[in-house]
Chains A and B, each alone.
Chain A
Amino acid sequence: MSRRTSPALWAWLAAGFAFLYIPILSLVFFSFNQSKLVTVWGGFSTRWYAALMRNEQILGAAWLSVKIAAISAVLAVILGTLVAVCLTRFGPFRGRVKTEVLTGLSLLLLFVAMEQAFGWPAGRGTLTIIIAHTTFALAYVAVVVQSRLTGMDPSIEEAAMDLGARPAKVFFLITLPIIMPALVSGFLLAFTLSLDDLVISSFVSGPGSTTLPMVIYSKVRLGLSPEINALATLLVVVVAIGVIAAGLVLKQADQARQRDAKMAASK
Chain B
Amino acid sequence: MQEGRKPEPAVVEPWKDPGAVPYIRIQEVTKKFGDFTAVNNVSLNVYKQELFCLLGGSGCGKSTLLRMLAGFEEPTSGKIFIDGQDMAGIPPYSRPVNMMFQSYALFPHMTVQDNIAFGLKQDHKPKREILDRVASMLELVKLSSFAKRKPHQLSGGQRQRVALARSLVKEPKLLLLDEPLGALDRKLRESTQFELMNIQDKLGVTFMVVTHDQEEAMTLASRIGVMNLGQIVQVGTPSEIYEFPTSRFVADFIGTVNMFEGRIIDEDNDYVRIASEEAGCTIFINHGVAAPPNAHLCVAVRPEKITITHEPPVQIGENCAHGIIDGIAYMGDMSVFNVKLDSGKMVKVTRPNLIRHAEDAITWDQRVWLQWDPASGVVLTT
Contact = CB atoms under 8 A, between A and B. Distances in A.
A166 B72 CA distance: 13
B91 A260 contact: no
A263 B153 CA distance: 7
A163 B98 contact: yes
Contact of A159 (B71, B101, B152): B101
B58 interface: no
B93 A155 contact: no
Interface residues of B, number: 30
B73 to A, nearest CB: 11
B153 A153 contact: no
B70 A162 contact: yes
Interface string A245-267: 00000000000010011011101
Given A163-B118, A165-B122, A169-B122, A178 B108 contact: yes
Contact of B152 (A162, A163, A178, A260): A260
Interface residues of A, number: 24
A201 B99 CA distance: 52
A257 B105 CA distance: 18
B110 to A, nearest CB: 8
A260 B150 contact: yes
A149 to B, nearest CB: 14
Contacts of B101: 155, 158-159
B161 interface: no
Nearest to B99: A162
B152 A261 contact: yes
A193 interface: no
Contacts of B153: 260-261, 263-264
A50 interface: no
B152 A164 contact: no
Contact of A257 (B109, B123, B152): B152
Nearest to A158: B72
A119 B136 CA distance: 64
14 contacts: A153-B105, A158-B101, A159-B99, A159-B105, A160-B107, A162-B71, A162-B98, A164-B93, A164-B122, A165-B93, A177-B109, A257-B152, A260-B150, A267-B155
